[in-house]
Amino acid sequence: MGKTGNGLAYFVAFLLLFGIVVIIAATLFASDLTQAVFVVIITAILFVIPLIIDKNKNAEWIEQVNMDLALNK
């Protein structure tokens, strides 16, 4: 799909993000204030952790993974 062939991947990613937003909204509307605060905090933490890992990734990791994959062939 699309000129670069990534249209389907973007569509699936959009659907997943839309699903997450709908689930969070439903959770927040169906809960009291304390539960809503916990949902927001946990969601923020789970969103930030991959960003921190990506920011601090080691450049040698890809080399190590490629070597491990080559050994397992």
On whether the pTM is more than 0.85, the answer is no
pLDDT at 1 over 80: no
pLDDT at 15: 92
pLDDT by residue (tens digit) across 16-63?
999 988 888 888 888 888 888 888 898 889 889 988 988 887 778 888
Q: Counting Cβ atoms within 10 Å, is residue 36 exposed (0-12), middle (13-18) or buried (19+)?
A: middle
3 — pLDDT class (breaks 50, 70, 90) = low
pLDDT at 2 over 70: no
- What is the secondary structure of 5-54 as a DSSP string? S-HHHHHHHHHHHHHHHHHHHHHHHTS-HHHHHHHHHHHHHHHHHHHHHH
